[in-house]
Amino acid sequence: MPVLEVKGKKLTLDEDGFLQDWEEWDEEVAEALAKDTRFSPQPIELTEDHWVLIRYLREYFLKYGVAPPVRMLVKHMKKTLGKEKGTLEYIYKLFPQGPAKDACRIAGLPKPTGCV
Amino acid sequence: MEILSREIKPEDAASPVDQLVKLTVRDLEKLPPPYDKPGMEPELTDPKPEWKEKYATDLDGYIAIDLPWKPKNKEEEERLIKSFLNGLNKLLTKEGNWTFLQPLLLSLEYCAKCQTCSNACPIYIMSGKQEVYKPTWRAEILRRIWKKYCTPAGKIFGKFVSGDIELNAKTLMRLAESAYRCTLCRRCTQTCPIGVDNGLISHEIRKLFSQEMGIAPKALHELGTVQHLKVGSSTGLTPDGVKDIIEFIEDDIEDKIGKRIKIPVDEKGADILLIHNAGEFLSWPENPAAFAILFEEAGISWTLSSEQVAYDAVNYGVWYDDLQLARIAAKHAEIANKLEVNKIVVGECGHAHKAITVIADRVLHDDIWIPRESCMPILWEIVKKEKINFDPEKNNFPVTLHDPCNMVRLMGVVEPQRKILRKLAPQFREMEPHGVYNYCCGGGSGFAIMQSMNFPEWRNAVATRMKFKQVLEAFKDCLDPSINKYICAPCSNCKGAIRDMLSYYQASERLSIYYGGLVELMVNAMVDLEEPFVEWEFH
């Protein structure tokens, strides 16, 4: 399995770059995941807007065990960052491979499963 | 990398080469304009070198079974073969295969090798006629193993009984992977002049590997049926989670139609228990929302369930494991009975339709038996009896209909959905062929949810290729990107495959082709709605 080194710790990823153990996640791990070009074509520089989304994903996951519906994400962005940034298009701007492949991965959530 | 560069025969499954075939875009069947030009689709990639050490890349370089099951030494290989033969012997007894023994035996006995089935297979045709994707290729491997190792004549006379096959680790890895190069759409079965079911053979191979050897794609087993039974849904969604999303959907409906609808949850004694594929709640909440609006407006007595397993209609067991299938079907029926509803109605999910209404008949014994129905006739009834006022002009854009294999070819629910579209979508046009002769979306039998490593690439380039061709042809008079077009796909699994297809071929950006379910179009046509319900946005 691929390994990600953060602060001297070796974290195991699955073959698609998702953290095997979501409990190992912290903000530094997120930074390292965002810079890992093995699983995304370009490194992602995390800005405050990225963090708004990452924190929301993380909180929702801890409460309900899944990533929230994308529609919910968009609504949250609208509420927090205003109408202009509350669009799916903007989410793709932040996370070019989309909410699942990039945002969930960087937020340390397991890879989405089921018919989603 | 070493491949076989000649016509591949069933006995080549045992070949020591790295990979039997290697696909390139140029081998694949051509797509219609504008995709007939080079550079319109991505090139195909090689598997990462490190994958080859653990996973079975030996067929075509693609990995459906994302478990590290490649044997490391002779002992592991022998153990694998022994356990396979054990499983095969079980598959051929009444006790070991109470579900499909008879059709399996008939299919193993009688193939005339006429290849009528191969010409009906969208994967074989669109792959540029790769031998290894023929419905008969994997069937013939299994048939030869069966004859040579499991029949008295074969044990004595070996290869003289029916062509030789060597049974080694490569044979098994290629056989297992090849069972996941078939979407179980059973178009081959439909066309076979003597009734051989090569789709069933793929299914039985998967079943043998899962039930006997614990080898199945994680998305289907560990994260699929196991998670479904343990947590409540193959998506990981919990009862609290589903309740939260239902509340969100109520808010969303209010935002969109200016009216709050209370979505009934766990209401005892309702007429209908409606079960959605839980993927709808997470990826397409507008679908359960549209159901709620229609059922409310039409005055139907219904409820959803928030009990574990019953808020997810899926039953991935149908694709690879009869035991898991039975466990989930029994749970669905048990919860419906506890709610004292008159029947279960399945939302827009094809395989869930077939699992609970047809196959579950073999599972649901007297005390948990309950009527089960498709949502389609109920939806048509709403339109036919004019229970809601519709204005078809609101849907005046090109619409085509995708037929989910499980619901249409394999169950015969053909007409209600198209009757609705004929009434409510003035620019409705059929794909060719359609109805029971449809082609699979390419996501069938779990492919839409198998997102590991390089499998999505194979699915998009090969398995969904026929569907993409059909879509381009259905819309050939209106490809202009200034015209929004709608693929109506009344099945979550098909929607997932179509979403990935549109993204892979960039067809939403380039041609404004979008997709969604059936109920969304119905709500979009409602006279009472001020704003359109359908949102022309890729999601």
Question: pLDDT per residue over B129-175, tens digit each?
Answer: 999 999 999 999 999 999 999 888 777 776 666 678 999 999 999 99
Closest among B117, B80, B325 to B201, alpha carbons compared? B117
Nearest-Cα residue of chain B relative to residue A75 = B252
- Residue B162's pLDDT is 65
> What is the nearest CA distance from A8 to chain B, expressed in angstroms?
23
Domain assignment of residue A48, yes or no: yes
Mean pLDDT of B277-289: 97
- Nearest residue of B to residue A63, measured between CA atoms: B241
**pLDDT surpasses 90 at B538:** no
Does residue B234 belong to the interface with chain A, where contact is any CB pair within 8 Å? yes
- B238 in reach of chain A (CB within 8 A): yes
Residues on chain B touching A70 (C-beta within 8 angstroms): 283, 539
Chain A contact for B281 (CB, 8 A cutoff): yes
pLDDT value at residue B175: 98
How far apart are the C-alpha atoms of A71 and B255, rounded to whole Å? 13
CATH number of the domain within which A38 lies:
1.10.10.370
- In a domain? residue A88: yes
Q: Does the pLDDT of residue B215 top 80, yes or no?
A: yes
Residue B405 is encoded by which pair of tokens? 């294999």
CB contact under 8 A, B236 and A66: yes
Decide if B227 and A112 are in contact by the 8 Å CB cutoff.
no
For residue B237, the chain A residues in CB contact (below 8 A) are 64-66, 114
Q: Is residue A57 in a domain?
A: yes
R_g of chain B computed on alpha carbons: 23
Closest by CA to B23, choosing from B51, B50, B42, B36, is B42
Q: Are B353 and B293 in contact (CB under 8 A)?
A: no
The shortest C-alpha distance from B315 to chain A (Å) reads 11
CA nearest neighbour of B277 among B345, B207, B363:
B345
| pLDDT tens-digit series, residues B476-529 | 999 999 999 999 999 999 999 999 999 999 999 999 999 999 999 999 999 999
CA-to-CA distance for B252 and A39, rounded, in angstroms?
34
3-state SS assignment for residue B345: strand
- Chain-chain contact of B349 with A64 (C-beta, under 8 angstroms): no
Which residues of chain B have a CB within 8 Å of the CB of A69?
A: 245, 248, 281-283, 285
Which tokens sit at B257?
A: 């139609």
| Contact criterion met (CB < 8 Å) for A65 and B234 | no
Task: Round to whole Å and give the CA distance between A113 and B19.
Answer: 29
Taking the C-alpha atoms of residue B522 and residue A44, their distance in angstroms, rounded to an integer, is: 41
* Residue A80 C-alpha, separation from nearest chain B C-alpha, in angstroms: 17
Please report the pLDDT score of residue B156 as a whole number: 72
Tens-place pLDDT, residues A3-29: 999 999 999 999 999 999 999 999 999
Tokens of A108: 């340390």
In chain B, what residues touch A16 (CB-CB under 8 Å)? 451-453
Cα of B384 to nearest chain A Cα, Å? 31
User: Per this entry, what is the length of chain A?
Assistant: 116
CB contact under 8 A, B496 and A111: no
Give the closest of B248, B279, B453 to A114, CB-based: B279
Contact residues, A window 30-69, toward B, CB-based 8 Å cutoff: 63-69
Does A110 contact chain B (CB < 8 Å)? Answer: yes
Q: Is pLDDT at B241 greater than 90 in this prediction? A: yes
* B252–chain A Cβ distance below 8 A for any pair: yes
Structural domain includes residue A114: no
Residue B7 CB neighbour total at 10 angstroms:
7
Residue B277 has pLDDT above 90, yes or no: yes
A44 within a domain of the structure (yes/no): yes
**Closest by Cβ to B240, choosing from A64, A69, A70:** A64
Residue B1 — very low, low, confident or very high, per pLDDT cuts 50/70/90? confident
Using a CB–CB cutoff of 8 Å, tell me whether B496 touches chain A.
yes
Handedness of CA B160, B162, B168, B171 (dihedral sign): positive
Q: Which residue of A has its CA nearest to B497?
A: A115
Catalytic annotation on A115? yes
| Of B190 and B157, more confident | B190
Q: What is the pLDDT of residue B160?
A: 62
Gap between the Cα atoms of B494 and B353, Å rounded? 13
B282 vs A contacts (CB less than 8 Å): 66-69, 112, 114, 116
Tell if the CB–CB gap between B234 and A114 is shorter than 8 Å. Answer: yes
Return mean pLDDT, chain B: 96
Helix (H) or strand (E) holding A10: strand A9-12
| Cα–Cα dist B161/B151, whole Å | 10
Which member of A1, A3, A115, A116 is catalytic?
A115
Kindly report, residue by residue over A45-91, the tens digit of the pLDDT.
Answer: 999 999 999 999 999 999 999 999 999 999 999 999 999 999 999 99
Q: pLDDT tens digit string along B44-56?
A: 999 999 999 999 9
Closest CA to B409 of B430, B432, B437: B437
Probe site for chain A from B254, B451, B493, B509 (most A CB atoms < 10 A):
B451
CA distance B454 to B497: 15
A70 inside 8 A of chain B by CB: yes
Which residue blocks in B25-127 are alpha helix, DSSP H? Answer: 49-54, 74-91, 101-110, 122-126
pLDDT in tens, B325-370: 999 999 999 999 999 999 999 999 999 999 999 999 988 988 899 9
Q: Which residues pair with B372 in a beta bridge?
A: B344
Residue B247: pLDDT band with limits 50, 70, 90: very high
Nearest to A60 by CA among B244, B200, B427, B418: B244
- The answer to whether residue A92 sits within a structural domain is yes
C-alpha closest to that of B105 among B118, B116, B114, B94: B94
By CA distance, what is A87's nearest residue in B?
B537
Residues β-bridged to residue B485: B513
Among positive and negative, which fits the CA dihedral A89, A91, A94, A96? negative
Among chain B residues, CA nearest to A115: B279
Contacts of residue B181, defined as CB under 8 A and 6 or more positions apart, other chains included, come to B59, B60, B64, B123, B132, B133, B138, B458, B463
User: B405 falls in which pLDDT band (50, 70, 90)?
Assistant: very high
Chain B residues with CB under 8 Å of A39 CB are none
CB contact under 8 A, A66 and B237: yes
Compute the CA torsion angle B463, B464, B465, B468 (nearest 10 deg).
Answer: 170
Question: Which tens digits make up the pLDDT trace of B76-100?
Answer: 999 999 999 999 999 999 999 988 9
Instruction: Determine the structural domain holding residue A98 and report its residue range.
Output: 3-106
Phi/psi for B265 (5° steps) reads -125, 130
Residue B87 sits at the vertex; the CA angle it makes with B84 and B92, to the nearest 5 degrees, is: 130
Structurally, chain A folds into a number of domains equal to: 1
Pairwise CB contact (< 8 Å): A115 & B219: no
Does B248 touch chain A if contact means CB atoms closer than 8 Å?
A: yes
ipTM metric: 0.94
Residue type at position B441:
C
Residue corresponding to tokens 């109506």: B488
Is A115 among the domain residues?
Answer: no
